[in-house]
Chains A and B, each alone.
Chain A
Amino acid sequence: MTTTPRWRALTHHNLFWPVVVLVVLLLVNVPFTPDFFSIRMTNGHLHGSLVSIVLFGSPLILVAVGMTLVIATGGIDLSVGAVVAITGALTCSYISDQSDQSALSGVFFAIGIGLLAAVVCGLWNGFLVARMGIQPIIATLIIMVAGRGVAQLVTDGQIITINSEPYKLIGGGYWLTLPFSIFVVAAVVAVTVVLTRKTALGLLVESVGGNAEASRLVGIRSRRIKIMVYVFCALCAGIAGLMISSNTSAADGNNAGLWIELDAILAVVIGGTSLLGGRFSIGGTVIGALVIQTLTTTIYTIGVPTQTNLVFKAAVVIVVCLLQSPKFRAKAFGGRFGNKPGAKGGTGQPAVAPAQTAKTTEAAPKMEVS
């Protein structure tokens, strides 16, 4: 392992560690499931563990992408799980009232109602945070708690089941041999990237999160920006809610999207966006969400007892978070992975003592996999 500039550029890329963790987690599965990486075609649909991971991870990716923008402004949105439940409940209960549950117009209208409810939730969160100046964690806690009540009110406390072919497509159907969810996710991610990087929205979001007072003094309408990201986050959660209820053809006000906000926040952090706000990375978040979904899959395939799987998950998350910390990397591996790009005089870092370099080689056998 020589420290060529290219290698250095690679290890210092902000997606390096999330990708390493993802690859390692995927490889862990191979001894337990030898055909883990194989993808088969059955009945015109592609099947395989990798496809499943993306399919089951779809709602989380959606929620996490929305969460990324909220966190980038220095906020947080705890209400996404409840928004998932509300959207699913409203949409399914409307469809279940139709005489022909498969009528396209009814399904589209139902989806519209569900997403509108999500947008209203987002507006409420944004209003509380941006206009009323309530701390985001408190403001969004309101819908987190009350939202599930609303969802249960809509469903009368029952699990509403529906039988609608077109609606089933969103979360359980296939298109061009792939699960339709994957296309939905790809579209949302693409729209988000375009919206943030092709307009100035991303820059303004990062500025508001990076230094709120400076942003005010530079004339950024930060309230408007904040309301927008909360609405966008809720909309993403709404789409995830459609997907989850569509996948099971049922709306469960109690359990749909339960704790998804925590996984989403975790995905954002694993993806390298700081909870303090500022710089964000949509790509990192997608990888972070995939890491979490792969972890869940891995827990099942390697047969961790269900009673203890949360402990296992926690252990992996701790490792990932430590790897993300420049301070920890500096301590554990010495200078090679420790310093941030350009933190001290850019590329060359002659100050690393030989002893430390030796330690690095010992401590970093994991690196060989990339």
Chain B
Amino acid sequence: MAEPQPVLEMTGIVKEFPGVRALSGVDFRLFPGEIHALMGENGAGKSTLIKVLTGVYSLDDGTITLDGQPVQIDSPLQAQQAGISTVYQEVNLCPNLSVAENIFIGREPTRFGRIQWNRMRKEAAELVDRLGLDIDVTAPLSSYPLAVQQLVAIVRSVGTGDSDGAGAGTKVLVLDEPTSSLDRDEVLELFRLMRQLRDEGVAILFVSHFLDQIYEICDRMTVLRNGTLVGEHMVSELDQVGLIQLMIGKALDQLEELHDHQLRSDVGETLVKADGLGRTGGIAPFDLEIKKGEVVGLAGLLGSGRTELARLLFGADQPDSGKVSIGGKQVSMSAPNDAIGAGVAFCSENRKSEGLVPDLTVRENIILALQAARGWTRPIPASQRDELVAKYIKALDIRPANPEARVGQLSGGNQQKVLLARWLITQPKLLILDEPTRGIDVGAKTEIQKLVVSLSEDGMSVLYIAAELEEVLRLSHTIGVLRDRKLVAQIANGPEITPSRILETIASGEHQ
């Protein structure tokens, strides 16, 4: 039996950014009437591929054919005209306009230059009705919750193409993380709409961090890793463990060999206790205890809620349920100040946007947290400041060892060390490290891991987040496993705990 003709075929796609090859020769195809998942960890090239497809980026090499015809897509507008519509995670609509206006914005039916309001409303109502949605098209978009706004965005994109309505124009619909802020019922409604569009012959490209959703709705999947194609599979033929292995690029038995059994014990009494701490859209309520001198590692796929959990413990986001006590005292966590006052320090995974002040010098960046705690009226005396800065530059081997250097010019590893120095100088009780080793060279990676071990031996508690499971296993006393924005298990580390055990827990959502 001959395979049906793919509606979209991308061949040998290459996209380079200065210093990075984001996509190297990726092939991708999409058939009409299927829901296709694009899988891969962050940085695997998913969003780059989507942006090439939708004309946001121009491609450096490769071809795109649509319905067998080679096409060149240079702008998002061209992509839309060719029949490729995209709905992003954030809704790009005008909340103050009505639903009908939003659906037709930019292509309102006109006669003699005047907008035909009645016709527009009627067609919008028909379109919404045909797709089985119960939405009053004359109401302002802002009167609906985010989930409905997302549905409207989808209605808008399938309506694109011809002003005569129905989805004749859209052949390919790209949904980039549409479900990340929806609750279960809303997701079901979205899925129903997706299935209807699929049955009408639209090819849907679906990106989501939620594995369960992929397995629920998708027919086929393409897995990317480090900018290369790993494989294309039918969803029914690949189980979750297999998929995760493909995504992170290591077979389970290979992982086991890397496991380091060097484990330490002797942790003290409870330092941090979180009770039902949670935030809607961030992470489901969780209980967590961190003891003095304990390293708690968080494992889970990117987007599983690791960062969100850490941010709640630092007050960087405000929890909407639960409470935290540190050293036996309850802390309100309404702002980072509260956490800092209780002895918590947080190195964000986004060094550039949430960590460093690039225009300031290494010295200024290092003393920033301590100075903020002292207030502006009590500057750190120059001699004491220079001594402290010199001490930490030396201890962490920050290069160049010049406190006057602008921190924006340092390499990634050295920037990370500056951030670490900034918090170590405040002598925190709990140090939260979110991906401290991401994007830095191997030498600096090892140094930072050694530092974590010695800090914990000196009695500092550490919450350690890393994408590399081995790293988490090597350093942690306890491993918290996250999946789909839930803390699903807390496992005491031991010789019998292997990366594959952790992977199984991530895949199944429960610890055997």
Contacts and interface: CB of A to CB of B under 8 A. Distances in A.
A220 B359 CA distance: 17
Interface string B355-381: 111111000100111011111111110
Contact of B337 (A200, A203, A214, A221): A221
Given A200-B374, A206-B359, A218 B409 contact: no
Interface string B378-393: 1110000000000000
B355 A342 contact: no
Contact of B354 (A206, A214, A279, A342): A214
A219 interface: yes
B378 A200 contact: yes
B352 to A, nearest CB: 9
B422 A218 contact: yes
Contact of B371 (A198, A200, A213, A217): A200
B377 A207 contact: no
Interface in A170-216: 198-201, 203-204, 206-207, 210-211, 213-216
B368 A203 contact: yes
Interface string B398-440: 0000000110010000000000001000000000000000000
B254 interface: no
B359 A218 contact: no
B353 A200 contact: no
B360 A206 contact: yes
B411 to A, nearest CB: 13
A216 B357 contact: no
B379 A210 contact: no
Contacts of B354: 213-214, 217
Interface in A116-174: none
B97 interface: no
A225 interface: yes
A198 to B, nearest CB: 7
Contact of A213 (B346, B353, B379, B405): B353
B297 interface: no
B350 to A, nearest CB: 9
Contacts of B356: 211, 214
A217 B357 contact: no
A216 B338 CA distance: 12
A133 to B, nearest CB: 15
B340 interface: yes
Among B348, B359, B374, B380, max chain A CB count under 10 A is at B359
B146 interface: no
A219 B373 contact: yes
B336 interface: yes
A76 to B, nearest CB: 18
Interface string B146-167: 0000000000000000000000
A219 B377 CA distance: 15
A199 B371 CA distance: 10
A252 to B, nearest CB: 38
B373 A210 contact: no
B455 interface: no
A211 B353 contact: yes
Contact of A217 (B316, B359, B379): B316
A214 B364 contact: no
Contact of B353 (A203, A214, A218, A343): A214
A278 interface: yes
Interface residues on B, range: 20 to 34
A342 B406 contact: yes
Among A204, A207, A215, A218, max chain B CB count under 10 A is at A218
B357 A211 contact: yes
B379 A198 contact: yes
Given A217-B336, A219-B337, A279 B371 contact: no
B337 to A, nearest CB: 5
B343 to A, nearest CB: 12
A201 B337 CA distance: 18
B395 to A, nearest CB: 20
A206 B376 contact: no
Contacts of A200: 371, 374-380
A279 B337 contact: no
B372 A219 contact: yes
A17 B380 CA distance: 33
A217 to B, nearest CB: 5
Contacts of A221: 337, 372
Contacts of A220: 368, 372
Given A210-B358, A210-B359, A219 B353 contact: no
Contacts of A210: 357-360
A200 B355 CA distance: 19
A207 B369 CA distance: 11
A218 B366 CA distance: 11
B409 A219 contact: no
A202 to B, nearest CB: 9
Nearest to A201: B376
A168 to B, nearest CB: 37
A278 B356 CA distance: 12
B402 to A, nearest CB: 9
A204 B375 CA distance: 9
A306 B374 CA distance: 54
A215 B360 CA distance: 12
A37 to B, nearest CB: 37
B124 to A, nearest CB: 34
Nearest to A211: B357
B377 A199 contact: yes
Interface string A211-240: 101111111110001000000000000000
A201 B379 CA distance: 8
Interface in A273-289: 278-279
Contacts of B335: 216
B379 A218 contact: no
Contact of A343 (B336, B337, B358, B409): B409
A201 B372 CA distance: 10
Contacts of B373: 219
Among B316, B364, B367, B376, max chain A CB count under 10 A is at B376
Interface string B319-348: 000000000000000011100100000101
Nearest to A202: B376
A219 B336 contact: yes
B357 A278 contact: yes
B405 A342 contact: yes
Contacts of A215: 357, 368, 372
Contacts of B376: 199-201, 204, 225
A219 B369 contact: yes
A207 B368 contact: yes
A2 to B, nearest CB: 26
Given A217-B348, A218-B336, A221-B337, A204 B371 contact: yes
Contacts of A199: 376-377, 379
B409 A214 contact: no
Given A211-B356, A216-B316, A279-B359, 12 more contacts: A200-B375, A200-B377, A206-B357, A206-B364, A214-B356, A215-B357, A217-B314, A217-B336, A218-B368, A219-B369, A278-B357, A342-B405
Interface of A: 198-201, 203-204, 206-207, 210-211, 213-221, 225, 278-279, 342-343
Q: Which 3 pairs from chain A and chain B are nearest by CB?
A: A210-B357, A219-B340, A200-B379
30 contacts: A199-B379, A200-B371, A200-B375, A200-B379, A203-B364, A203-B367, A204-B371, A206-B357, A206-B364, A207-B368, A210-B357, A210-B358, A210-B359, A210-B360, A211-B353, A211-B356, A213-B354, A214-B348, A217-B314, A217-B316, A217-B336, A218-B368, A218-B372, A218-B422, A219-B340, A219-B369, A219-B373, A225-B376, A278-B360, A342-B405
